[in-house]
Amino acid sequence: MATPRDTPRRPDALTLEVVELIGEVVARFHADYEEAAAERALTGAQAKLLSLLSLEPLPMRKLAHKLKCEPSNVTGIVDRLEARGLVERRPDPGDRRVKVAAATEEGRRVARGLRESLRFAREPLAGLSEGERVALRDALRLMVGESPPEG
């Protein structure tokens, strides 16, 4: 016998509004990100890869997984960024048979500039109190399956 949990419920009006607003935030963030990337003569995929590598060197397979694409696509993106001096390939310290891609100093500078130039979210978030930003952060963490920080 079906239980209430087994039966799909129609979302209430508030849930539908939240979903629409999340979609609008994502679309605006994406447009702002693409614009910031274009200002640096980067595609969105190149900018995302460079941003990931500015945090830590990663093997191609891990990059492909994070970007949700084929490793052969990542190789081409890394090739183009390497030609611009933004990324370099080096042996993985943990396994010398594996190559990792790493942002160069210039690549980290470009990635930092990219992050700092994203205007869409920064301005509205500045209008929220610290408590409101903490509540928003914690709600978003719950939505993506992370636990809010302790304290």
Q: How far is CA 71 from CA 12, 28, 63, 118, in A?
A: 41, 28, 8, 28
Evaluate if residue 11 carries a pLDDT over 90.
no
Question: Which one, of 104, 95, 116, 96, lies nearest residue 57 by Cα?
Answer: 104
E strands, the chain, in order: 58-59, 87-92, 95-103
pLDDT at 126: 83
pLDDT at 97: 86
Most confident of 4-8, 33-37, 125-129: 33-37
pLDDT score, position 3 = 54
3-state DSSP call for residue 141?
A: helix
What does the pLDDT average to over 126-130? 89
**pLDDT score of 95:** 86
What is the pLDDT confidence band of residue 13, given thresholds at 50, 70 and 90?
very high
The structural domains of the chain, ordered by start, are 28-138 (1.10.10.10)
Residue 85: pLDDT above 90?
yes
pLDDT in tens, 26-69: 898 889 999 999 999 999 999 999 999 999 999 999 999 999 99
- Count the neighbouring beta carbons within 10 Å of the beta carbon of residue 137: 14
- Helix (H), strand (E) at residue 113: helix 105-117
DSSP string, 58-71: EEHHHHHHHHTS-H
The three-class DSSP label of residue 49 is helix
Burial label for 123, CB within 10 Å (0-12, 13-18, 19+), is: exposed
